[in-house]
Structure 1
Amino acid sequence: MATKSALVLLAEGAEEMELVISVDVLRRAGVSVTVAGLSGTDPVRCSRNVVVCPDTSLQDAVTKAPFDVIVLPGGLQGAKNLAASSEVGLLLQQQEKEGRLVAAICAAPTALQAHNVGIGKSLTSYPSFREQLQEKYTYKEDSVVVDGWYIFPSD
């Protein structure tokens, strides 16, 4: 059986606990995890000033696609940076087209919305994004929502 693979996207301002705990749990489960920096391989400052070094750049990581799951940690600025990246948009659209898992944590569903990914799905997020996300999604108050290939933990 082939090893499952995950790509965790690391953007400036990401919520470090959502990043590190996701990577830790996936690696403990035997998943091959790649942490890709949106801006290259330089260390990235997260939302609480923790600095994390990506394994590779997003540009290099996409050459190794497809991944079984793409994980988008939240963090307000991190989610804004994910939303602003056309490279992230193309990667997520391809993941959706191929029916592969996407996990968007806390504020990160706003990045999916920016790239028109998962439209119409049921989701949850950090509560302050409810109104914004209700425009294109069915918002749930649950702590975790799974809809098809999409996984949405609220925080």
Structure 2
Amino acid sequence: MAKVYVFLADGFEDVEALATVDILRRGGVDVKTVSIKDGTAVNTAHGVTVMADMPFGQADFADADMLVLPGGMPGATNLNDHKGVRDALLEQDRKGGKIAAICAAPMVLGNLGLLKGRRATCYPGFEKYLEGAQYTADLFTTDGNITTGEGPAATFPFAYELLATLTDEATAHEVAKGMMYLHLIAAGK
């Protein structure tokens, strides 16, 4: 079973974090939410208090198949300012592990130099932080071990892409079907 850690910082975008966790767990992925604070209570960008599974100091990312950064402001800035998060991302990339970031959070990857020579997307206006990347403006973009997503409305396709990457296309398809996502997409045509 794949192991994923989702970093939660005060000001994270509710739907980007929680829908991603939900979809991955529905697909059988072992997901742990990690508060970057000393405690587990984290406040979302929209004033909801969420209890993370663990504080950063108790997490060991050695078994991580993927590290995920939700966006939102000032959540993405708080992630960017956290030395432990930056170090974990650099180590994950060094060992070839998967990394995902959505909305404003790809700026953390850009600031670390992890997007140089890659295609990436983010919330419009944050592309200036994707140092060395080719900005795609797509809902999500996977290039090598890194997946980036555009913003809140892109969370579902972004999360299904992560699930397919961690499991397989059939699992992602079944979860999407069960959540009526495929029906939604078909109805929008």
Specify if TM > 0.5. Answer: yes
2:38 pairs, out of 40, 45, 51, with 40
Letter in 1 for 2:147: I
Give the superposition deviation at 1:64.
Answer: 4.6
Q: How many residue pairs get matched?
A: 151
Name the SS of the counterpart of 2:126 in structure 1: helix
Aligned equivalent of 1:137: 133
**Max radius of gyration: which structure?**
2
Name the SS of the counterpart of 1:47 in structure 2: coil
User: Please, what is the CA RMSD of the aligned residues?
Assistant: 1.2
Does structure 1 retain, via aligned residues, the 8 Å contact 2:12–2:45?
yes
TM-score (norm 1): 0.92
Aligned equivalent of 1:120: 117
Name the SS of the counterpart of 1:76 in structure 2: coil
* CA–CA separation in structure 1 for the residues paired with 2:24 and 2:39: 21
Give the superposition deviation at 1:85.
Answer: 0.7
Letter in 1 for 2:45: S
Name the SS of the counterpart of 1:14 in structure 2: coil
Identity of aligned residues (%): 35
Does structure 2 retain, via aligned residues, the 8 Å contact 1:41–1:55?
no
Does structure 2 retain, via aligned residues, the 8 Å contact 1:83–1:115?
no
Pairs within 5 Å for 1:15-34: 15-34=13-32
Structure 1 residue runs of 5 or longer lacking an equivalent are none
Q: Between Structure 1 and Structure 2, which shows a larger proportion of helix residues?
A: 2
Deviations 1:62-119 (A, max 9, x none): x252311111000021100110011011100011011111110111001112233232
Name the SS of the counterpart of 1:102 in structure 2: strand
Structure 1 stretches of at least 4 aligned residues deviating more than 6 Å after TM superposition: none
* CA–CA separation in structure 1 for the residues paired with 2:29 and 2:40: 24
Letter in 2 for 1:88: V
Structure 2 residue runs of 5 or longer lacking an equivalent are 152-189
Letter in 1 for 2:138: D
Change over 3 Å in CA distance of 1:118–1:66 after alignment to 2:
farther
Aligned equivalent of 1:55: 53
